[in-house]
Structure 1
């Protein structure tokens, strides 16, 4: 049987300084495979920078020799020779009965690389002691970019860091999304996804997904530093991206798109237009335009637009030739030419339109709840509400529409405890207001009532219930001309940078109240006239409408698709 040595028995050691070239390899060493060139380069650079931190362990040769055999630290000795060191410190221990084979194996297996969290903490300690990132990179043979990447962990919530230190680490993409978020945002997401006793693992995908923000990259920007500064865009470098890639980005999407739009306006060709895209990201050309896929002619037009990633794209198109006029027409007005008018950037972005819809709806519902409304006006509004584009009433005369919203809770208030249809005037008023609040909406999407909601809001003074729009969120949705126009009737003067103008307006309206004209409820005359024309009942249609007493079946209210993406009344006000 082999002898088992007592691990608790102390081993006498002696520190000596020797020429590394005189040390001999141990034939019983555990590591036989060659280390990678990258690992050797890292160790060499570390030795050159700070020397050998942990002395190699050696033992005296067997009988007949007067040198030392390496038990531990073969790579350190090899790289010390490569670094040109004349002398290194070694720890001399008694020769083991097995030639040091067990000691070599144990120490090789026991070595474990620091996890990223411990590496970051050690680097932060070095920085606190006066080390620069460059010096740390040289000492560790790592790039400054890698040191900066590790230092991003300083932006991670301490509770997350403690969990990562246990070995449950997110991947680089997830860590990038987490580190880019604020500590408050991380705290909220961590509450929902932190580990529990029953599930100690963290879904880093869910954490990163909850913190991810849309990024607009500098490499996709057509504008230069002047517009970036004007729109207050601060580029942030993505330290997790490949080193040879321009990874600077911003999460201020509205500012990025605004600068791109202004650049297109400034660089629009003579026969150019700024176009929009459809829901699939395809460019929307003017009516009757034919896209040119080959080499364009001088007479062709150019359309510039932004794709889904915010990049400026250019396509060419051709308009149909105009029909020749008669001689009299030519003498009177000359030849007829097809003209393409460039559509300027809207004063209010899509996000701003959605915010206006939300603010209008909140104000409208507040007015319906609290504003004084005459009974005849209330009944008229009920009739008006059911003409909204988000509502359809099925009489039962045809079709089965069982889907949609109903309003039983309001109708139920009109019945007494015995189930009789009995109510007083106050109960009726409350029920009518409740139905109006459920039906009338200015929000974008399927619930939008259209121009009728604007008429209703105007009739009951809902403008007075609109919230303050002089906020960073809303003002960031305005174009530069619209933002500078908001300075009218205020002591705020437009600044060179859009960001500074916006900040000054936010500060001015902090204690005040600002409502953008596009949010007011009065509908434009053209939009209302068009709706009235579409909704007018002709004499023939009037003959087909049955009397109220002859209608059978119970009506039901359902949500419908909006007739248009924007109501014409709002579009005129916004542009």
Structure 2
């Protein structure tokens, strides 16, 4: 690199200059005034001419050279560097982007020049710090009318979808639409109207059920969508009538035995025959199939079922197919015998059984293992519904019966060993307790249970991309500090460093530990204290009622009632003189 004094008129413009759009007269006048006042502060960059010439080609500073000529300078200082392999295309583009943002049209021209020199889209994106999607969007401009490009060069850019629609149309169609909708001078273009006028309905080859023979018969020509994903069939046609006709002919030729071609209604649903019932489950052999073309042009099919046909008998009375003969058309039901117990009787039996069961549970001695077994059996009741977290489904007693069946013998009595009871109890708790968010969440009791049995040691490694994507910058930096990993400048780099660090390790976020928070525990304890106060209030109300009742009945108490009271043994009375049996019933009732 060297600095030379050269005549600005002898410098040649670079044919690969990125900035092609003309600068505004105001900016040129400002630059000229600055050069006249203080000269050129930053010298232009030039390189020796290649291909046998002895001149110099401008690499950066075209405007400075032009304004120096306008200012009447005979010589200016120029930084001379060696010519690059791409004739300075990438250097020119980076230099222009750094000084003043290029308009999208100039960016596209520079990108196309780099692609022609062998640069890939990914490499260009890395060099210019642009996403590949933006580079592909700019490359759509290659199919745009030049008059539209001039409008876009002024900074009036359409949206990506509108640009795709415009670029997919032919130049003749773009020219006609632009002639009708060209904006006035100084106004922006209505790109959505232009895109709407150029848009055409497409039918894609991936939705076609017919083959190439029908496509040729109906005059269908497939057009390749250059902007479709690489792993998809992007061919399409705008011959809508031909496409739908080929689909109809294919359905007619491939109609199944019980099939029927139907139309679609205004909502895009098939119009089934009258009285037909659509089958949403697995169809049977006797069901029918309705075939139709949906709004996207794809062949669809649904199963439907027709009601049973009725045939008339000899005397004119109709009967269902497969039924027995009917003498007068009326259905004769067999006489019903009266059950031994009516429904009301079963209700009474249910009340009696429930009261007896609750009393036995409140008073009868029950061993610990039997109590655990009854706990397992209770979850298998018909009135139990648990939103389980075992497999993200809500199930009822059918799922619990398999746990209860392990504890029942062939004679219907509870028969088990302690190992079987432990397995059943563990299985039942697994089905019931859940920490998943939603209806299956068991609340703070599941966290207390997990903390009690040391479930923290069973938590998996959370140092994965799926979980770390859910953490904020502060949380990631805190985790990195705890793991002694240096936080990076970007969040995704810090996340990648943590993933690599915990790839062979084990990371558990503090928020995932089972230990409940003090607020959750206080909320749970508050419910117990509230229940105790309600029980005390109920007991106090009962004692006041008993005192009032005794005072009212004391004057009229008969000698016979007193004698009955004295007949109760002292050991069966409590400290207040009430029978112990009545006190036990009170506890069971509570």
The higher relative CO (CA closer than 8 Å, separation ≥ 6) is in: 1
Q: Same fold (TM over 0.5)?
A: no
- TM-score band by shorter chain is 0.3 to 0.5
TM-score (norm 1): 0.36
Which has more radius of gyration? 2
Higher share of residues assigned helix = 2
